[in-house]
Structure 1
């Protein structure tokens, strides 16, 4: 299609519009329109501030300070219990102390510092970290998602940020194709991801237990009559209070907690230096790794078993990556290198120095090594820091559940966003209650840090190993790292983690089974929900309704139009769901304005509001029936109903303005068809849409024509007034209540999973209107059975 150029020539309208705006099409724009794709929403998107933008040093230092209160509470409280867990039967040889200290020092240097701080932190998803973020990042580059709702236009969203594969390294493209064409590989990546997320949720149970017990245990120094049972009851009471205040959220967590945790680091670092010079400076010989070799040579199997205690010195390391979205890489690197690393190193060195003279006190090293005048201040700060560490892990568990729900692999729960500053801070009542019960149960059952440490170590090392696997995929496919560095990464970090994992698994019977049991239950729930979710989506996709059906029932007058605005919710992105004809059969009427709304979660952390809604009108225009896809990232909060209604109408009006006043009038002038036929697209036939023209129009590059007469047959201003008027008459949410059952010829296992286990989860978690916060007096539901 051509238009007159100002210079008297002619050129493609898409080219003209881009030239007027000073931009040329991207490769994505050139190949945009595909089967049943939707045009972009109205409004040209200005450049956004991205994670990679340079932060000022003052801002970075402020973030580094805040990160102290959010990220390092867990790893910072490890000195409370590491030596007790490493030597549960006492120190057998003087040099064992040097060997253990050397292992602690080099473990902290190898895994938290070299692996996480200087490598893994860069494998972020637009600034967000964690197992789910890694899976999301991988899903954008490799089509490993099992839900077939990928669309080309999604890749145009600001935060998608795809990079083309380098011609120099075709290996990445080859591996990408292999993974995309191998269902086993897709399932394996998914299983590894939900295992990692399950372990992080398990951390939300174990971290509060071990942190609070280890801190409260210090009271026995001043009250020796208290036994482990009493300490566990005191700890359980603190945990109940901790979970009771979760509803208030952690909006100012960085500012509120950072001074307390910083005080903790100053105390443990200072006490460590005091003990070093008071008892034995000779423990600094532990920097010689020869003591590690001697330690294993001398202790053999017992030395290997003791690694289950040593590994507790890096508990909470994953939090540096998981909480990255609240800060930036430089801030985490500064906070770790300048505050945490020296503080905890001096703490372990000082405790080792103390134990050279008081080896019998290894079961309670931390509190016994505190100088008398500092005991009570340190005790109070220890409990405060333990609570802070627990708070961070509980919030992390909430975030993981919220993200998993958006992925479609966790039953519906109500998510409350408690912070306007920190996007990942959420509160989930059901999960909060379950975690509280489990924490109290574990605390009263195990009672000591040594027993809980056996379980805690497995959760910690499992998550680290999974992170190594996912980052390796990132290095090969996305970073396109040289194979030598990839191999070194896997051998050095993966090898060390497998050694630690073998050690903690040895204590399976002594409490190690607990996180594996938690994870198994969670994985079963997530796998069942995701399996049926995928099957249900594919059923709707295979049985979707074409626009011809809607067009026919409108033109034949088979349905009545009733006043108001109807929002028909569906998970189906590519078409009209099969429940709609069932709805028409039961209630042969639709609202004057009807919008099919599909809530879609993209594999990115957030979608800018201006890019949230994309529309397509179902012909004829006079029907006032539209399709809308509302796109969210896994950290985005869904708007409340009133706000959502206002937003969807506002962006619908923008769509109509650009669609009708801009591109269509240009088409009428030149006798060309601009927009593809909806039904043809849904049938999979090539559309007559020019992809570049559609992009230009939908991004608001076409301005309404002011120098030519508009068609009298379709008054856009009047149409927008009608839509606004129908909204004022009332908004009704139309929800499909689908019951999913297995086909009659299905296997007994599938019948059990779909008809009983999934049905049990569906009935005992929130229903659609509750999870969407839809007002009950505005809901109209219709039921239908899907046989999958």
Structure 2
């Protein structure tokens, strides 16, 4: 941006005019098409990633054979051919949902390589303005990973869908609700996965120690769960290398045992590949067959992990590992168990361990325990990662997110959430005691997540992929109807445990929705009470404000205007630091923002006042820098901004001197942009006037003056940094409804006071923090 382009003219080179690339001066709609996942990955690297993915994303679905048959036949097997029907259901469920839907369709709806329901929501919000908080800026589209495409003129449905989404508040609320419902179900999944996986693995010990009671098995499981949640703070980096080998050994064991049972007991179960046995099964069992689907669906638990953890691997690696390792191994295991049960149907309550050949029992038992722990840990890590992404939606307080690995950016730890999930998992294990009861609750989490993904994918196909309506309808009807059938079956067990995840999700959703509602209202309140930039000088003179040494950063959610907390500050303490900056931390609806594109600077008021605005932009997987690193990065960016402003101002004067073209062209561009974004129109015009005036002054400054300003910044940094934050007490207006008063005055206030404070989440040094109290009535 600061380099000058040159164009040949005969034998001489003439500097081309510098042009701005921000919303105040240049073409803000220009989009970069660079994509960090676009380069081809070698086959060696792909195979390596495929192997690593085995340990990270298949622990959950790989340990499902521990409890699927016992959950499907809780009252025993009534007809021997029922095994063929259930095996056929398991095989085709594995083929339809994980393989066809996820591996060959959903994985391609990634957001610059990142997956999960949250990535789908972010992808949609880039193509349509569906977010509730109006902090969009035109220059966000110039960030490299933003990468959007214009709707195809031949397919008007995409443009129609965009207009409907942007104009319908109900549609925006529906998409947001789906997203936080998915987040709530992931938290429920992270709570139930350890409970059912560990309990089912530990239960196998009763085969060799029949004197153990179920209560003792539960207590052993609780001890393992306590250990599992206690070590989350250390992360998985230290043991990460063991995950893939352990799960690979697990798959080798269950495939080998399955093949053994198939050959020894009944090769005839291979007939289950004929779907006619599914029809016969339902004819024979009627309603009971439909109810049993709640157990069958447990064979695909953890499927969403393939998509959610895609950011660590790539599509080809996941496709290879699923089709080459997971599906054959798990498929053989289910086939072998069915063959065993054809001969010993009375052992259905503990099928997995009863079907293991005697010499293989203890090795398999030990690996099963390890696999269950790994599956639980991976699910917990995924839940933490999704919650950390949800912070960028503003639907939960800024809790402390601890990154536990320097190698794997998705491995995070959230202390408050870990405590709640750990306590809930232990309570569930003690209360339900058996995997069958927990399975009723577990299935609802799994299927609800599937349905949410189906709906969001349908929007992606319509709005972004612009597929033919027949293809979209087939996707929605086929997968949506199958998932609804499974959901209806699980809901039949509502009283027997199915109520747990629904109640849990409702509580979590209510808290998230309440927080987001107040945050949106608070943002609009601040937007309605901003101080126009043009009044800054009057405001400072009115309060006889002194300039004191150092650098002051006032944190604000607003990306335009002067926040109402600033007048409050100078009324109480009529002094402002020599260099003062309105600092906004904003999360864009993309996975990552390149460091070079992190900061967006603006001059606020006359240049000699040295007051700036900075918007620090992050993707939902980016980590906030440590304070020292952040300050150094910020000040380097500020010095670069000052240098570039001087260069642009000098260039403008040359253009005006040459013929005045700039003065005749730029007003029309500004007016076009101001009508395009009403929220930013007032500040855009004011900032243009201010920046243009500053440019005229700077054009007569020498490089020496710019260097002096840089040196001044360094000196003020040495005097110290002070972080200022508004401590807003939000209350409902006196004439508000009782419900609104409950949400604002009690729920929101409770969350704000009992979860991590904002400065801790932002890693602001406590001894450099100054809070300014203010009350908002919304």
Return the TM-score normalized by structure 1. 0.92
Deviation at 1:4, TM superposition (A): 11
Match of 1:701 in 2: none
Paired residues of 2:543 and 2:571 also in contact (CA < 8 A): no
* Residues 283-432 of structure 1: pairs in structure 2 closer than 5 A: 283-432=269-418
* Residues 513-524 of structure 1: pairs in structure 2 closer than 5 A: 513-524=499-510
Question: Counterparts of 2:684 and 2:193 in 1: how far apart (Å)?
Answer: 55
Instruction: Give a deviation string over 1:399-441, Cα, whole Å, max 9, x none.
Output: 1221112210012210011122222211111111111111110
Question: Counterparts of 2:687 and 2:699 in 1: how far apart (Å)?
Answer: 25
Residue 779, structure 1, aligned to residue 769, structure 2: yes
Question: Counterparts of 1:552 and 1:10 in 2: how far apart (Å)?
Answer: 50
SS in 2 for 1:645: helix
Matching residue within 745, 751, 756 for 2:741: 751
Paired residues of 1:565 and 1:592 also in contact (CA < 8 A): yes
Deviation at 1:300, TM superposition (A): 0.1
Residue 683, structure 1, aligned to residue 668, structure 2: no
Matching residue within 570, 591, 601 for 2:556: 570
Residue 511, structure 1, aligned to residue 497, structure 2: yes
The answer to which of 488-497 and 712-721 deviates more is 712-721
Instruction: Give a deviation string over 1:745-769, Cα, whole Å, max 9, x none.
Output: 2111111111111111111112221
Paired residues of 2:410 and 2:621 also in contact (CA < 8 A): yes
Deviation at 1:712, TM superposition (A): 5.5
SS in 1 for 2:132: coil
Deviation at 1:715, TM superposition (A): 1.3
Match of 2:677 in 1: none
Instruction: Give a deviation string over 1:345-369, Cα, whole Å, max 9, x none.
Output: 0000000000111010000000010
Paired residues of 2:400 and 2:414 also in contact (CA < 8 A): yes
Matching residue within 47, 50, 55 for 1:69: 55
Paired residues of 1:575 and 1:682 also in contact (CA < 8 A): no
Match of 1:272 in 2: 258
Deviation at 1:642, TM superposition (A): 1.1
* Residues 20-419 of structure 1: pairs in structure 2 closer than 5 A: 33=23, 50-251=36-237, 254-419=240-405
Question: Counterparts of 2:506 and 2:761 in 1: how far apart (Å)?
Answer: 25
* Residues 520-535 of structure 1: pairs in structure 2 closer than 5 A: 520-535=506-521
Matching residue within 761, 764, 767 for 2:754: 764
SS in 2 for 1:733: strand
Gapped runs of 5+ residues in structure 2? 675-679
Match of 1:502 in 2: 488
Deviation at 1:46, TM superposition (A): 10
Cα gap change, 1:38 to 1:428, in 2 (>3 Å): farther
Question: Counterparts of 1:220 and 1:291 in 2: how far apart (Å)?
Answer: 34
Paired residues of 2:34 and 2:147 also in contact (CA < 8 A): no
Return the TM-score normalized by structure 2. 0.93
Match of 1:589 in 2: 575
Deviation at 1:713, TM superposition (A): 11
Match of 1:702 in 2: none
Deviation at 1:332, TM superposition (A): 0.5
Cα gap change, 1:101 to 1:427, in 2 (>3 Å): same
Number of aligned positions between the proteins: 755
SS in 2 for 1:615: strand
Question: Counterparts of 1:457 and 1:11 in 2: how far apart (Å)?
Answer: 70
Q: Which has the higher contact order (CA 8 A, sep 6+)?
A: 1
Residue 669, structure 1, aligned to residue 674, structure 2: no
SS in 2 for 1:494: helix
Question: Counterparts of 1:39 and 1:570 in 2: how far apart (Å)?
Answer: 27
SS in 1 for 2:579: strand
Gapped runs of 5+ residues in structure 1? 19-24, 699-707
SS in 2 for 1:683: helix
Instruction: Give a deviation string over 1:523-564, Cα, whole Å, max 9, x none.
Output: 001000000000101111111111222222456782000111
SS in 1 for 2:643: helix
Question: Counterparts of 1:160 and 1:300 in 2: how far apart (Å)?
Answer: 51
SS in 2 for 1:715: helix
SS in 2 for 1:356: helix
Question: Counterparts of 2:466 and 2:192 in 1: how far apart (Å)?
Answer: 37
Match of 1:629 in 2: 615
Question: Counterparts of 2:416 and 2:69 in 1: how far apart (Å)?
Answer: 36
Residue 462, structure 1, aligned to residue 448, structure 2: yes
